[in-house]
Amino acid sequence: MTPHISARRGEIAETVLMPGDPLRAKWAAETFLENPVCVNEVRGMLGFTGTWRGHRVTIHGSGMGMPSLSIYANELIREYGANTLIRIGSAGAMQPHVAIRDVVLAMTSSTLSTPSCGIFRELNFAPCADYGLLRAAHAAAEAKGIRAHVGGIYSSDVFYDERPDLNKQMQRHGILAVEMEAAELYTLAARYGARALAVLTISDHLLTHEALPAADRQSSFSDMVEIALEAAFA
């Protein structure tokens, strides 16, 4: 047990999918895993372990933002031996060619700050995905006929952004989408020798102001979970 995860040793799989919303973790576990068992509910952050095509998988919520994800990723890697962590979540598109329902596979993640910034001091560390996971996820998306984009994203430490000037510069430099967790996940994976990837569904668009209707989100998120699972065990 850790301060934030009540699972016993052996109850967490080496492969962990991490949605931000704990209820989405519950939905994904019940939808995609065989015999899912709840292994954590401390502070309402749900985690489930089951099997997918004979492979053990844990699906565990990360909470919203990099500080929350940092807590769970640290404990999952250091205390439970997780070595493949895939974020599954929503993102806002920042480029005209990235559409609602598209999937973004984050090759890199830019950020203003993360909980790890104090370690690097003056160094601007460049967090990136595991190439094997990235390649396998892209192949899985192509095989399923799912429109997927590979490139850089932005991990914001605020939800209510007040920097339109910064957004314009990111759009100018090809940043595909914005979310709130991947940069810290990639940094922690690099630190501890784990594999990490963010598989993201575009749920809204910063340029067109479109948003995915609530009724359509579940089917679109299903694509993302399937891609993540295929990539983890390719």
Ligand-binding site membership of 101 (annotated) = no
Ligand-binding site membership of 226 (annotated) = no
C-alpha closest to that of 44 among 28, 60, 32: 60
Ligand-binding site membership of 180 (annotated) = yes
Assess whether 204 carries a catalytic annotation. yes
Read off the tokens for 57.
């998988």
Show Cβ contacts of residue 40 under 8 Å, excluding neighbours closer than 6 positions.
5, 6, 7, 46, 47, 60
Ligand-binding site membership of 116 (annotated) = no
161, 165, 204, 216: which is the annotated catalytic residue? 204
Q: Which amino acid is at 36?
A: P
Ligand-binding site membership of 20 (annotated) = yes
- Residue 64 Cα to chain centre, angstroms: 11
Ligand-binding site membership of 56 (annotated) = no
Handedness of CA 161, 153, 223, 12 (dihedral sign): negative
Ligand-binding site membership of 162 (annotated) = no
Using a 10 angstrom Cβ sphere, with 0-12 exposed, 13-18 middle and 19 or more buried, the burial of residue 35 is: exposed
Ligand-binding site membership of 90 (annotated) = yes
Q: How far apart are CA 166 and CA 172, in angstroms?
A: 10
Ligand-binding site membership of 89 (annotated) = yes
Ligand-binding site membership of 145 (annotated) = no
Please, what is the end-to-end C-alpha distance for the chain in angstroms?
A: 30
Binding-site entries: 4, 20, 24, 43, 87-90, 179-181, 203-204
Report, as residue numbers or ranges, the catalytic residues.
Answer: 204
Annotated binding site for phosphate: 20, 24, 43, 87-90
- Provide the annotated binding site for a purine D-ribonucleoside: 4, 179-181, 203-204
